[in-house]
């Protein structure tokens, strides 16, 4: 067997062959397994062929400052020289927690984990611990990690009648279905009716305030807040994506609706694995056996939770985002690209909707408004595939269903992206 190297830069086909030998489906389960990132700097990434791309994937959201931000690098290098992880309290984790408590409206205390999926799992568990009730209400198409509960009706191929959940993975016991009820996002009347019907059984409502890229209709989040308060239910905002992206105070600041618990991730780790559950002291007390006793105690342990390297990267990232003009810049980039995409598609007569927020959006190829998962699912996927493939050919790296504008984009990047959007719109029109 030849000696294996971490440093030799083979072409992507070589790496793909090696990956297929040791990784199921030849990948990590995340992005396109045929794409191998060699490096990134600022707004750009390079693959193992040496091809250069403007990055709108940004590691699925964390790299909001761009790659290799010098202040983040300096903070991380300084910390690494004094210790990488301790499985013990450290001052850097306390400072970052203080920053999150100051920024996030619902946060009086936080508890660290390593991934957003863990944070969501624990938030649902906290809701059950606090209320003594068994069920969680989630919304079809909402992404809350990879726990058994979260994988109910995340991306169901079979559209079941509400409120019945559909498991999205093998290996989930049928008993899990009994603990989850599912509703359509943005349907206020359905939400009120289902909460009333199951009110004595619902422990928590978990929702992405911006579900993937779909904004809440006016009054939807407010209705969830009102119903949760009226029925003694814990309202959980999954802000792993929207936290510190839609503004320094996240989606709850933008929309003016304060949940009981929030989950945070991505940006708060500055490119390193870190996530958190944030909420009122009363709810977070379930992590403290001395306050709630044996019966109310919610156990949580994580080897890398609150590690100082991720904490200092997060501290510096939040410091940069808090500076004057940072969010205005990101939002301005997003508005410009949303406008450019729509103008190009209109010019070529392609039915579409630009769905999302300036900080996170994409094109959905449909002639009707997009309010929920089923509206997205019924869109033209063949046109989307042509659009995304053409964008990649033009040097734009983006996930299949979203674009993340960020602080590192330059005027040249935006102009190249506008050119790519025009090319992609024409390609869709030519194929139609």
CATH top class, domain 35-68+326-431:
alpha beta
Closest C-alpha to 209, from 190, 182, 235: 235
User: Is the predicted pLDDT of residue 5 greater than 70, yes or no?
Assistant: no
User: pLDDT (tens digit, 9 = 90+) per residue, 259-280?
Assistant: 999 999 999 999 999 999 999 9
- Binning pLDDT at 50, 70 and 90, where does residue 4 land? very low
Q: What percent of the chain lies above the pLDDT cut of 70? A: 98
Is 7 a residue whose pLDDT tops 80? Answer: no
Give 158's pLDDT tier (boundaries 50, 70, 90): confident
Residue 310 in contact with residue 269, Cβ under 8 Å?
yes
Catalytic residue among 135, 138, 266, 398: 266
Q: State yes or no: is 402 an active-site residue.
A: no
**pTM across the whole model:** 0.95
- Domain 71-321 classification at class level: alpha beta
Contact status, residue 118 vs residue 275, Cβ threshold 8 Å = yes
Give residue 8's pLDDT band: very low, low, confident or very high (50, 70, 90): low
C-beta neighbour count of 171 within 10 angstroms: 7
Number of Cβ within a 10 Å radius of residue 199:
14
Examine domains 35-68+326-431 and 71-321 and report if their fold is the same.
no
Among residues of the chain, what percentage have pLDDT more than 90?
Answer: 95
pLDDT band for 1, please (50, 70, 90 cuts): very low
Both tokens of residue 231? 């029925």
pLDDT at 3 over 50: no
Inter-residue contact 177 to 365 (CB < 8 Å) = no
Structure token digits, residue 4:
């294996």
Q: Specify whether the CB–CB gap between 352 and 366 falls below 8 A.
A: yes
Q: What is the per-residue pLDDT for 10?
A: 62
Q: Which of 56, 112, 122, 143 is catalytic?
A: 143
Among this protein's residues, is 56 annotated catalytic?
no
Task: Please compute Rg for the chain using Cα positions.
Answer: 22
109, 178 Cβ separation under 8 angstroms: no
Residue 63 has pLDDT above 90, yes or no: yes
Measured CA to CA, the distance from residue 250 to residue 207 in angstroms comes to 14
Statement: residue 141 has pLDDT above 60: yes
Told to judge if 143 belongs to the known catalytic residues of this protein, a careful annotator would answer: yes
The residues facing 234 across adjacent strands are 204
Angle, vertex CA 113, rays to CA 110 and CA 118, nearest 5: 110
Domain boundaries, the chain: 35-68+326-431, 71-321
Tokens of 111: 């508890």
The string of pLDDT tens digits covering residues 298-327 is 999 999 999 999 999 999 999 999 999 999
- Chain mean position to CA 309: 21
The two structure tokens encoding residue 374:
């089923």
Span 329-354, pLDDT tens digits: 999 999 999 999 999 999 999 999 99
Does 11 have pLDDT greater than 90? no
Choose the catalytic residue: 47, 55, 238, 362.
Answer: 238
What number is the average pLDDT over the span 153-174?
91
């Amino acid at each position: 067997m030849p000696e294996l190297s971490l440093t030799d830069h083979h072409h992507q086909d070589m790496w793909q062959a090696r990956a297929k030998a040791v990784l199921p489906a030849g990948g990590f389960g995340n992005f396109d397994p045929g794409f191998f990132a060699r490096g990134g700097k600022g707004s750009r990434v390079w693959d193992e062929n040496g091809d250069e791309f403007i990055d709108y994937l940004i590691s699925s959201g964390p790299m909001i400052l761009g790659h290799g931000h010098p202040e983040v690098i300096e903070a991380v290098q300084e910390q690494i020289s004094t210790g990488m992880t301790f499985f013990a309290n450290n001052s850097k984790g306390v400072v970052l927690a203080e920053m999150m408590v100051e920024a996030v409206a619902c946060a009086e205390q936080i508890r660290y984990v390593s991934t957003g999926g863990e944070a969501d799992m624990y938030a649902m568990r906290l809701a059950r611990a606090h209320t003594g009730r068994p069920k969680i209400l989630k919304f079809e198409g909402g992404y809350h990690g990879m726990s058994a509960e979260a994988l109910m009706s995340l991306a169901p191929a079979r559209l079941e009648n509400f409120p019945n959940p559909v498991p999205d993975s093998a290996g989930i016991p049928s008993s899990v279905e009994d603990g989850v009820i599912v509703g359509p996002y943005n349907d206020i009347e359905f939400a009120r009716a289902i909460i009333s019907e199951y009110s004595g059984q619902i422990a928590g409502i978990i929702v992405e305030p911006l579900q993937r890229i779909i904004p809440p209709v006016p009054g939807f989040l407010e209705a969830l807040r009102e119903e949760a308060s009226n029925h003694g239910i814990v309202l959980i905002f999954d802000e792993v994506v929207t936290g510190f992206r839609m503004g320094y105070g996240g989606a709850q600041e933008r929309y003016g609706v304060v949940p009981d618990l929030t989950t945070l991730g991505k940006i708060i780790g500055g490119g390193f694995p870190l996530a958190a559950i944030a909420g009122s002291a009363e709810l977070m007390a379930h992590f403290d056996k001395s306050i709630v006793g044996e019966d109310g105690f919610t156990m949580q342990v994580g080897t890398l939770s609150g590690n100082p390297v991720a904490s200092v990267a997060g501290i510096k990232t939040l410091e940069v985002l808090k500076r004057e003009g940072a969010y205005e810049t990101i939002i301005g980039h997003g508005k410009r690209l949303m406008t450019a995409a729509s103008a190009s598609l209109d010019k070529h007569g392609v039915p579409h909707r630009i769905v999302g927020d300036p900080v996170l959006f994409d094109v959905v190829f449909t002639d009707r408004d997009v309010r929920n998962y089923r509206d997205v699912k019924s869109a033209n996927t063949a046109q989307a595939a042509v659009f995304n493939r053409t964008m990649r050919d033009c040097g734009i790296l983006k996930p299949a269903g979203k674009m993340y504008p960020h602080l590192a984009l330059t005027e040249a990047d935006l102009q190249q992206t506008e050119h790519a959007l025009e090319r992609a719109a024409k390609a869709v029109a030519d194929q139609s």
